[in-house]
Amino acid sequence: MKGAGWGSFFLGLLLAWLALGWNAPAAAHPMPESVVWIDTTPSGMNLTLQLPLNRLEFGFGKTLTDQPDTVLARYGDELAAYLLQHVGARSEEGGWQVLRPRLQVLNIGGFPELQASFTVQAPAGASTRRPELLYDVITHEVRTHRAQVFLRTDWAGGYVGKAPVLLGELRYGQNSLFIPLDRQRSGAGFASLFEEGMVHIAEGTDHLLFLLMLLVVAPLAAQAGRWREMRPLPQVLRHTAWVLTAFTAGHTATLVLGSLGLVNVPSQPVEIAVAVTIAIAGLHTWRPLFAGAETLMALCFGLIHGLAFSASLSGAGLTPWQHAQALLAFNLGIETMQLVAMAAVLPPVLVLGRLQAAWYAHLRHLLAVLASVLAALWVLERSGAIDLAAVSWLGDGGTLPFLLVLLIWMLAVGCAATRLARPARG
């Protein structure tokens, strides 16, 4: 089987693996306590309550767990009225207006719960940055019950695209909680997500290693199943631009679809697939598997990496306009780091390829082996077969790619210095 044939074979296997995991349900756990998610808005905040029916029925006073599917048909208006009595907010300027909630019954791993979504509006002219949550749903009746309160997004304060932060717990006898919000800053949400996109690449050893594999062979042209000769510089730049653009198009597509919830693949098969793309890219670095089809490879593998990116960017709690800005900012951050990677890797690789082809070949083989071995270890770890905690630095913080780029520069500088020194000796 020739290079392109092997590449198609590996790509087919990888897509089949993802297809198997496409509709696999995510692990779910019973939720004995209530959860309150807070998302700030220009006029106040949105609250999303997740209430286990087997606890809510004690506070509500009517049985709900016998027929969860008919709860809203039987008690929708009464539940809305009950919740409005037990949910509120205020600030120094006075009480906030709580609008009728939107109700939905969800079944999470066999445990039915009521999800209630509120819009809470501050009084006209009041500051929205110093709210106090008033809440005793269920807890007014069930003394052992707890409600955990999380800040999920605060676009104006720049808290977006991050893990929700626990603000505190509400229970019987404690029915109010001050919500600490950072001061409002123009463009804070956009800037925060731009930084998150950059950090996601800069600290993602697997993504950086994949980019490194693409860039190391970018100057080479394949002939008869082997890397044979250096491309002319204009062709190198054009080829690299096409490959990175294809990778960008691929991961942008699945980043958008994933963050919108239109594509939902469990994280484990995605992370395993990302590791497999690195292994295949490593093999391609040793010997061309996708000769003449590197752009297609980058596009397809970009789709997989975009699924991993989307896990870091949920649209929950954002308005459609904020979500559009979030996608743009996060993607721009990713692209910025990709350009930094290109600027860091391509010049020394070109120097090595032009001045010392043997060194370049040895470096390429070394990187190919290293990437393939690491990828195999990541596949085993992400499958649960082994534990790499003792060498976690290999996969965290981008340390390894930085050291590899440093090695490439050292070789390129050494090669150039050797070449410059030759005439002086004559």
The reported pLDDT for the residue numbered 30 is 47
Give the separation between CA 139 and CA 147, rounded to whole angstroms.
Answer: 8
Give the separation between CA 409 and CA 247, rounded to whole angstroms.
Answer: 25
Contact (Cβ atoms closer than 8 angstroms) between residue 156 and residue 184: yes
Neighbouring CB atoms inside 10 A of 182's CB total 12
Confidence of residue 391 (pLDDT cuts 50, 70, 90): low
Q: Mean pLDDT, to the nearest integer, of 204-233?
A: 90
The reported pLDDT for the residue numbered 104 is 96
Contacts of 297 (CB under 8 A, 6+ apart): 7, 11, 281, 284, 289, 290
The reported pLDDT for the residue numbered 417 is 87
Please tell me which residue, 259 or 372, carries the higher pLDDT value. 372
pLDDT digits (tens, 9 = 90+) for 312-343: 777 677 888 888 888 899 999 999 999 999 99
pLDDT digits (tens, 9 = 90+) for 261-302: 788 888 888 899 999 999 999 999 999 988 888 999 999 999
Confidence of residue 393 (pLDDT cuts 50, 70, 90): low
Largest CA distance in the chain: 98
Confidence of residue 426 (pLDDT cuts 50, 70, 90): very low
pLDDT digits (tens, 9 = 90+) for 118-156: 999 999 988 899 999 999 999 999 999 999 999 999 999
The reported pLDDT for the residue numbered 48 is 96
Confidence of residue 111 (pLDDT cuts 50, 70, 90): confident
Neighbouring CB atoms inside 10 A of 77's CB total 11
The reported pLDDT for the residue numbered 8 is 52
Run of H or E including 44: strand 44-52
**DSSP characters over 157-216:** GTB-SS--EEEEEEETTB-EEE---PPP-TTHHHHHHHHHHHHHHHTBHHHHHHHHHHHH
No. of H helices and E strands in the chain?
Answer: 11, 13
CA atoms within 13 A on the CB side of 186: 0
- Indicate if the pLDDT at residue 20 is higher than 60: no
User: Is the pTM of the predicted complex or chain greater than 0.85?
Assistant: no
Residues in the chain: 426
Give the separation between CA 192 and CA 158, rounded to whole angstroms.
Answer: 6
Q: What angle do CA 377, 378, 384 make, to 5 degrees?
A: 95
